[in-house]
Amino acid sequence: MDAKVGDKGGCPVMHGGNTEMNNNPTKWWPNALNLDILHQHDARSNPMDQDYNHREAVKSLDFQGVWNDVEKLLTDSQEWWPADWGHYGGLFIRLSWHAAGSYRLGDGRGGAGTGNIRFEPLNSWPDNASLDKARRLLWPVKKKYGNAVSWADLLVLAGTVAYSNMGLKVFGFGFGREDIWGPEIDINWGNDSEILAPTEERVSDLDDANSMYNPLAASHMGLIYVNPEGVDGNPDPAETAKYVRMTFARMAMNDEETAALTVGGHTVGKAHGGLAADHVGPEPAAAGVEAAGFGWADPGFDGNANTEHTSGLEGAWTSNPTKWDNGYLDLLFKYEWVVKKSRAGAWQWEPIDIAEEDKVPDATDPSIKHNPMMTDADMAMKVDPIYREICKRFHKDPAYLADTFARAWFKLTHRDMGPKANYYGPFVPTEDLVWQDPVPAGPADYDVATVKAKIADSSLTTAEMIATAWDSARTYRGSDMRGGANGARIRLAPQKDWVGNEPERLTKVLGILEPITAETGASVADVIVLAGNVGIERAIKAAGHDIAVPFAPGRGDATDEQTDADSFSVLEPYADGFRNWQKEDYSVSPEELMLDRAQLLGLTGAEMTVLVGGLRVLGANYGGSKHGVFTEREGQLTTDFFQTITDMTYKWVPVEEDGTYGLQHRKTGEVKCTATSADLVFGSNSILRAFSEVYAQDDNEAKFVRDFVAAWTKVMNADRFDLA
């Protein structure tokens, strides 16, 4: 027990619980794997009943009622946080945007799909100042509709309703996001030493925006995209354009979508720079309990928008900030703009010699008029030649802008929801979009036993069947629900040519399996998975057990036209610890890359352990490598991997030439097996060793087989949202 004295003094008190986040019990051992990322959001942190199913609950939602009630809130100004111009549209749009805008294409993490903006660190990022207020404004709707509507849905719906109310024909909306109950701990938001640290902390070459550390999609920790004042706070629209292009590309937007989102996002609402930033109270995570989780207190705020501080920039972009119109582009191209400082000391752009009719009514007192303003990112739309050309087209054709923006907004707010099978409600668009990774429904009425028999009678080896099925399924990312075996995209570009998929072996296997699909009426996707199951069942029987591998037919086969090849390139594995392979040497260890893959696959620590130990003895290593194949019974699903790695008869000796290890007999010096660190970590890491010891026990051979089958089936069915 430790005696603790409070920061402000006080009597020491016996306090034995580890109650502060900054007191991590493993901080003294920085090389320890963070296995906690596999066990976040467990049942003990979830307040809902065990039998609660959000997918079922959302079906009972009064969808139109929720929409109508959010719309009513838009003009129901509250004294504790008055609405600018009597309309919360700009605030609600910013809430939705910033909830969704943390998505990054590289690993699929971030985004609005979990409602994570409710928690640290996102709720305390400088870019998200005052969004805690927006969420509180929505509380009456959440309270009314309860479990049927998630916070994640409501936070995104708010902005969509706001745009519709202000005159935009929105593209649609899908319900179905499920809340988490604490912050994700798997997301790397950056290794910056401080919030809003200098750009060079995450960019290796300031002249090359693409040199920013992957997979990050914001130029600073604490921002959604880029610094609105310019790179490192220095106004230079041409330079800012480079970073805008890069950051938006990393969250899956092309130049046209980026321009549309910039224009449409700043067509409504305003920025607030009522006082110097050093006069603003601490963020929610640092504020006292009396702040009630609000944070960002403005000591000088008197209910007037002119005294409110959020970003430090001050002003609106258009003359009618509560209406969807073409005013943003009208002003951008009509006037010359010059750099000025806001009252809060932030760099922004203001027009020269603006006409009185183009000025902006004060957000509190409409009798007062102000100059509009633009950020450095806005000026990038005018200065960058590509963005300028796109915006000129938008300016000439407002309908084209509205449609492009509506589609881009829909993509922004739905990008991490996976395929349309995860969308619910009457506002879901009927149009299939290629970025949704559509997969046609597959046949389910064929004779599974016949297919399995034909596979078993083929010339395919057990290892070939299992490796191909694994490679097809391992692309799944629970972060944004992309990838997986459904669709059989492993036979299409770019996946068929990925080095990690062993193209020569893949071509051979598909050449044998595809005729079976033609003969039986099954999909290629189903037959690939079935082949893996046949291989495992064969290995189970060879080990003396009799356990069937579950199978659910119905996968479909995607076409090239249904596949956005460029967006699938980010799913390419550069390492796969489950098959003991990596493309080249990386600064990150093989076991860390394996851990990352396991987390994206939704595996627990025990599931990762059982899969690795099983795949090794099954001979599923890349290229037939023998690293980690701790058995003389390769091809049988045995516990030999775990028995060997826990056997003190052997010591592990590094092989300096290639970074591998030899398992050397302590007495004879004979090297029994070779291994990588992705193998030996299951004996060296204390937590993983604990799992390994379970499966090494004499009484757990049958349990090992059952657990392996369950974990394998989980991976094969990860993207079967139709089964949920």
The three state secondary structure string of 65-127 is HHHHHHHHHCCCCECCECCHHHCCHHHHHHHHHHHHCCCCCCCCCCCCCCCHHHCCCHHHCHH
- The amino acid at 656: E
Bridge partners, residue 234, by sequence: 231
Bridge partners, residue 231, by sequence: 234
Cis preceding-peptide flag for 438 (omega within 30 of 0):
no
Q: Where are the alpha helices (DSSP H) in 300-456?
A: 327-334, 376-383, 385-396, 398-414, 448-456
| Cα 585 to the center of its chain, rounded Å | 26
- Treating both helix axes as pointing N-terminal to C-terminal, what angle do 376-383 and 255-265 enclose, rounded to 10 degrees? 130
Bridge partners, residue 309, by sequence: 273
Contact residues for 290 (Cβ-Cβ < 8 A; gap 6+): none
Q: Do the Cβ atoms of 372 and 354 come closer than 8 Å?
A: yes
φ, ψ of residue 13 in degrees (nearest 5): -135, 140
d(CA 58, CA 66): 12
Neighbours of 182 (CB within 10 A): 14
Neighbours of 694 (CB within 10 A): 18
Q: From residue 313, how far is each of 14, 240, 412, 602 by CA, in Å?
A: 48, 17, 24, 41
Residue 98 annotated in active site: yes
Tell me which DSSP letter residue 313 carries: -
Bridge partners, residue 337, by sequence: 351
For the four alpha carbons of 357, 265, 96 and 99, in that order, the dihedral sign comes to: negative
Annotated catalytic residue within 87, 98, 266, 627: 98
Which of these, 181, 191, 196, lies nearest to 129 by C-alpha position? 196
Any idea which residues carry the catalytic annotation? 98
